[in-house]
Structure 1
Amino acid sequence: MNVKMIRYIISKMMGVEGLLMLLPMMVGIIYGEHTSVYFLITAAILTAIYLLFGRKCPENMTIYAKEGLIIVATAWIFWSLAGALPFVLSKSIPSYVDAFFETVSGFTTTGSTILTEIEGLPKGILFWRSLTHWVGGMGVLVFVMVLTSLDEKNSMHLMRAEVPGPEADKLVPKARGTARILYGMYFALTAIEVVFLLAGGMNLFDAVTHAFSTAGTGGFSGYNASVAHFNSAYIDGVITVFMILFGINFNLYFFLLLKEFKSVFKNEELRAYLGIIAGATVVITCNITGGYHSLLKAFRYAVFQVASVITTTGFVTADFNKWPELSKCVLLLVMVIGASAGSTGGGIKVSRLLILVKSIRRELKTMIHPKAVNIVKVNGKKMKEETMRGVYVYFIAYILILIVSVLLISINNFDFTTSFTGVLTTLNNVGPGLNLVGPVENFAKFSDFSKIVFCVDMLIGRLEIFPFLMLFSPSLWSRKF
């Protein structure tokens, strides 16, 4: 275990977060807010940590998969702990547990909130909320790789531990190059969305913060009513399109740049992802048309909410808690499925669902024809047994975590739908659930214990379960450091 390298990388990351604090500080200065000083204080604390522990590079810079998992899990925890400080210091969120919940929700791009009055918050704080989405969307370590030289020794282990999905592939030989390509595409799409939102009448601040939240598929808005505040079919349409785009595997955008169109159009996960969106939209549109007395209006709200939920963004334009049961069930199903692997979205991922369905089909064929050789292929490539085993174990771990979390949350004695969907929406990094955690509600009513459970679920969901669970492995901590 290369402890010195782990400490070095974590300290370096704290320094980068300190630099990030300067952005909301400048926003606060522009709007003449006193909150700027609290971002400066936090930046000074994080810079001091970097200067103490992150300046001198260890002689042995080698890290392997184990170190990668530990670094990723601890980095997200420390970034969230530090990111909560401006909320508490400015008294925007006086309770540290609540501030930690809000920050974890931001970095993990969940979008669940404990805030009951958002519009009264300072602009600097609102900007920081949305910025946590943007940075967390592609991954905090991937972000740091873009700015630093963390990839000098085997840092692909870091990307594989952090990038959502069954596998993380290199686009170019060096991990830092891959990180820069990913963030280049990410930044470009974000900037394009800002332009479109400005064209729809949004002011610059709202356009940037909502683009940040869309890009990270997070869902924080500067308004209590979320996107419904604007009441604009154009803005709904723009955000819908970009939510879907950010839910697509970013490797496919790289293939488009290389003009490898066949690789994109024949991608099974992309076709399944778009097919699920289309199917869910049709079902919900038909189901809610009577309530809106207009097919076009029903379609507008249906496609927005389907895109928001399957990409785990969490923006809302309608209170789907009041929709018919069929529509709510469809939304819960797409909530579990989530977006594509290698995107900024959460959930179990469409690729895992494809592998699971094809594995079931293989087992049925094997039962009928025991001597036949049945191979699971995705996009024409044979799936390795270790990849498939990882998917099976992921599903088992997912179900167990869901059950245990619901049991723990039930201590609050809320109704089952509230407890279950509260866990489901945080574990899948979606944001809103049903009933007391519905689209027009929040998580403020829960106890501090439950909020910590939700924070753990958000981190587990964003880090794809295993990096976070590694921290609870007795064999890991029994080693001599």
Structure 2
Amino acid sequence: MGFNYRIIIHLMGLLLLFNGSFMLIAALVSGIYADGVTFEITLSAILTQLLGIFAMFYTRGHKKEVKRREGYVIVAMGWIVMSASGVLPYLLSGAIPDFTNAFFETISGYTTTGASILNDIEALPKGILFWRSLTHWIGGMGIIVLAIAILPLLGIGGMQLFSAEAPGPSADKLHPRITDTAKRLWLIYVGYTAAETLLLSIAGMSFFDAINHSMATLSTGGFSTKNSSLAYWNNQPLIQYIVIFFMFLAGSNFVLSYFAFKGKVQRILQDEEFKFYAGFIFLFAVLTSLVIYFNANVEVSDFHPMPFGAGESAFRHGLFQVIAVITTTGFVTADFTAWTSFLTVFFFGLMFMGGSAGSTAGGIKVMRHILIIKNGLLEFKRTLHPSAIIPVRFNNKTVSEHIVYNVIAFFVLYMLLFIIGALVLSAMGLDFVTAIGGAASSLGNVGPAFGDLNPVSNFSTLPALGKWWCGFLMLAGRLELFTVLILFNPYFWKRI
């Protein structure tokens, strides 16, 4: 049987309608602030929606059945179509007149990477800044639904790993129907965004800055409305602690948040991935803070004010950057690549960690690391007892060999794509540190990188081809590798 192309086009049309509706919200914000680009953003919305209506009308007689192969195409094409249409507000307003740069900024938004080519963010109209943050928020919301509801049906993704235990949408967890699962998770996502907006406003941020940073936090995106990111509020620790808290929530499994609201706190405390996720953050934050505080080469007072003393400042900035990198949010309060060589290498390693499965965070994910480590340790026992059957256990349940193989395959592919990614960037003339930093950051959806792409710089210096390549790495990393890479397999396209 061939592909059901009509259902694919129909769903792309639906996404375009969805995207255009969000553009209208950005146009409304633009009108409220009278920033001069309301017409351009509105025109972008109308064009996007007209294209969506045409696609849906043209394929109105489609068969509603979506098989696995169509599912892969829909997931990958969805992000590309959203990014391709999302460039219109940038192009028509003149905020980013170059298509390559506009597409890079847009796909960086939808994949919640947060890498930017903009040199003066604060000069942009309010409506464009809001649209930029919205691309994050839309992408983060889509990732939750993908991870929890859609990817398991395709037999892939982080949530498929939980086929035996809590963080998956089976009847005893959230709700047996995917649509109801998605609604519950969206409600939590919107609720967290509103809560952070309120708290940041109370703490001293303007409402506009608060809602933009809330959208960037909950999506683990990292786009800021300020050129210096969260370092702009270095003299307001409360703001940074609020962002730290919500980054932590965004990097944890959203299903656990649902359990918390249902009063099932015990389920959270018993979750193995959550315990490792929280434990890693605590240990790494303490280590980073101690290095900052005691290292003679790091003058804490040089790069941020200290209203509560050097100890608090070292702890806050260490904790902030550890969570920002592990959750792949990418906010910065200082240039962590200048915090000694040890911490530079340390943060590079954290880029490969990722948050929890079922979160908006990118990266490899904590749970995959746990299973790989557990399986590696069990190999010692299997070597001593070759006849024994010693399975990997997670949350006190046996993990099937198929899932273990899937995790190992993912890890190998991830590292291979990272190496290829760095090689391609180095072939474009980037130095070693910049090439490996750019590849790791793009593939892990982190945002800030190293070398010429460090936290106080941006990706504007990349050659045009390098921006397209990093955009591909962002998409592959965001969609769990297999979803994108399977499209390059000739067998996938054969008629069966």
Q: Same fold (TM over 0.5)?
A: yes
Q: Is residue 138 from structure 1 mapped to residue 141 from structure 2 by the alignment?
A: yes
Give, as a single letter, the amino acid of the residue that structure 2 aligns with 1:454. Answer: C
- Is the 1:69–1:158 contact (alpha carbons within 8 Å) kept by the matching residues of 2? no
Which residue of structure 1 lines up, in the alignment, with residue 363 of structure 2?
347
1:222 pairs, out of 211, 222, 225, with 225
SS at match of 1:382: strand
Q: 1:7 to 1:163 in 2, by over 3 A?
A: farther
Q: Is residue 382 from structure 1 mapped to residue 398 from structure 2 by the alignment?
A: yes
* C-alpha RMSD over aligned residues: 2.0
- Is the 2:143–2:360 contact (alpha carbons within 8 Å) kept by the matching residues of 1? no
Which residue of structure 2 lines up, in the alignment, with residue 37 of structure 1?
39
- Is the 1:72–1:158 contact (alpha carbons within 8 Å) kept by the matching residues of 2? no
Query: Partners in 2 of 1:57 and 1:14 — Cα distance?
Result: 15
Query: Partners in 1 of 2:397 and 2:52 — Cα distance?
Result: 44
User: In terms of mean alpha carbon deviation, does 341-350 or 326-335 score higher?
Assistant: 326-335
1:276 pairs, out of 275, 280, 284, with 280
Which residue of structure 2 lines up, in the alignment, with residue 48 of structure 1?
50
2:451 pairs, out of 429, 432, 435, with 435
Which residue of structure 1 lines up, in the alignment, with residue 74 of structure 2?
71
Counterparts of 1:255-404 in structure 2, within 5 Å, are 255-290=259-294, 291=298, 292=300, 294-404=310-420
Query: Partners in 2 of 1:479 and 1:118 — Cα distance?
Result: 48
Which residue of structure 1 lines up, in the alignment, with residue 468 of structure 2?
452
Which residue of structure 1 lines up, in the alignment, with residue 488 of structure 2?
472
Offset, 1:261: 2.2
Deviations 1:12-51 (Å, cap 9, x if unpaired)?
Answer: 1111111111011001111112322222222222222222
Give, as a single letter, the amino acid of the residue that structure 2 aligns with 1:295. Answer: G
Offset, 1:166: 3.8
SS at match of 1:245: helix
2:196 pairs, out of 172, 193, 198, with 193
Query: Partners in 1 of 2:326 and 2:284 — Cα distance?
Result: 10
Give, as a single letter, the amino acid of the residue that structure 2 aligns with 1:175. Answer: I
Which residue of structure 1 lines up, in the alignment, with residue 206 of structure 2?
203
- Is the 1:109–1:429 contact (alpha carbons within 8 Å) kept by the matching residues of 2? yes
Query: Partners in 2 of 1:313 and 1:385 — Cα distance?
Result: 32
Query: Partners in 2 of 1:233 and 1:438 — Cα distance?
Result: 23
- Is the 2:193–2:215 contact (alpha carbons within 8 Å) kept by the matching residues of 1? yes
Which residue of structure 2 lines up, in the alignment, with residue 236 of structure 1?
240
2:28 pairs, out of 26, 29, 33, with 26
User: In terms of mean alpha carbon deviation, does 453-462 or 171-180 score higher?
Assistant: 171-180
Give, as a single letter, the amino acid of the residue that structure 1 aligns with 2:493. Answer: W
SS at match of 1:21: helix
Query: Partners in 1 of 2:316 and 2:155 — Cα distance?
Result: 37
Counterparts of 1:142-221 in structure 2, within 5 Å, are 142=145, 166-167=161-162, 169-170=168-169, 171-221=174-224
Give, as a single letter, the amino acid of the residue that structure 2 aligns with 1:184. Answer: L
Query: Partners in 1 of 2:494 and 2:160 — Cα distance?
Result: 30
Which residue of structure 2 lines up, in the alignment, with residue 421 of structure 1?
437
Counterparts of 1:89-104 in structure 2, within 5 Å, are 89-104=92-107
Give, as a single letter, the amino acid of the residue that structure 2 aligns with 1:46. Answer: T
Query: Partners in 2 of 1:162 and 1:393 — Cα distance?
Result: 12
2:254 pairs, out of 246, 250, 253, with 250
User: In terms of mean alpha carbon deviation, does 131-140 or 194-203 score higher?
Assistant: 131-140
- Is the 1:156–1:175 contact (alpha carbons within 8 Å) kept by the matching residues of 2? no
Offset, 1:164: 6.7
TM-score (norm 2): 0.91
Which residue of structure 2 lines up, in the alignment, with residue 105 of structure 1?
108
Which residue of structure 1 lines up, in the alignment, with residue 128 of structure 2?
125
Query: Partners in 2 of 1:86 and 1:383 — Cα distance?
Result: 47
SS at match of 1:51: helix
Query: Partners in 2 of 1:233 and 1:166 — Cα distance?
Result: 38
2:119 pairs, out of 116, 120, 128, with 116
Query: Partners in 2 of 1:236 and 1:98 — Cα distance?
Result: 30
Deviations 1:279-324 (Å, cap 9, x if unpaired)?
Answer: 1111111111142272221111100000100000000011112101
Offset, 1:184: 0.5
- Is the 1:197–1:238 contact (alpha carbons within 8 Å) kept by the matching residues of 2? yes
Query: Partners in 1 of 2:144 and 2:220 — Cα distance?
Result: 17
- Is the 2:200–2:210 contact (alpha carbons within 8 Å) kept by the matching residues of 1? yes
Q: 1:157 to 1:245 in 2, by over 3 A?
A: closer
Q: Structure 2: state its 5+ residue gaps.
A: 302-309
Give, as a single letter, the amino acid of the residue that structure 2 aligns with 1:201. Answer: G
Query: Partners in 1 of 2:38 and 2:486 — Cα distance?
Result: 37
Q: 1:193 to 1:418 in 2, by over 3 A?
A: same
Deviations 1:376-422 (Å, cap 9, x if unpaired)?
Answer: 11111211222111111101111111111111101232221111011
Give, as a single letter, the amino acid of the residue that structure 2 aligns with 1:20. Answer: F
Query: Partners in 1 of 2:116 and 2:455 — Cα distance?
Result: 11
Give, as a single letter, the amino acid of the residue that structure 1 aligns with 2:313. Answer: K
Query: Partners in 1 of 2:158 and 2:133 — Cα distance?
Result: 20
Give, as a single letter, the amino acid of the residue that structure 2 aligns with 1:276. Answer: F
SS at match of 2:123: coil
Query: Partners in 1 of 2:45 and 2:436 — Cα distance?
Result: 38
Offset, 1:478: 4.0
User: In terms of mean alpha carbon deviation, does 157-166 or 228-237 score higher?
Assistant: 157-166
SS at match of 1:336: coil
SS at match of 1:312: coil
Give, as a single letter, the amino acid of the residue that structure 1 aligns with 2:387. Answer: K
- Is the 1:164–1:464 contact (alpha carbons within 8 Å) kept by the matching residues of 2? no
Offset, 1:260: 2.3
Give, as a single letter, the amino acid of the residue that structure 1 aligns with 2:99. Answer: Y
Offset, 1:163: 7.0
Which residue of structure 2 lines up, in the alignment, with residue 148 of structure 1?
none
Query: Partners in 2 of 1:245 and 1:218 — Cα distance?
Result: 13
Q: 1:108 to 1:313 in 2, by over 3 A?
A: same
Q: Structure 1: state its 5+ residue gaps.
A: 146-150
SS at match of 1:377: strand
Offset, 1:160: 6.8
Overall identity of the aligned pairs, in %: 38
Give, as a single letter, the amino acid of the residue that structure 1 aligns with 2:469. Answer: V
**Count of paired positions:** 471
Query: Partners in 1 of 2:160 and 2:448 — Cα distance?
Result: 22
Offset, 1:199: 1.0
- Is the 2:144–2:360 contact (alpha carbons within 8 Å) kept by the matching residues of 1? no
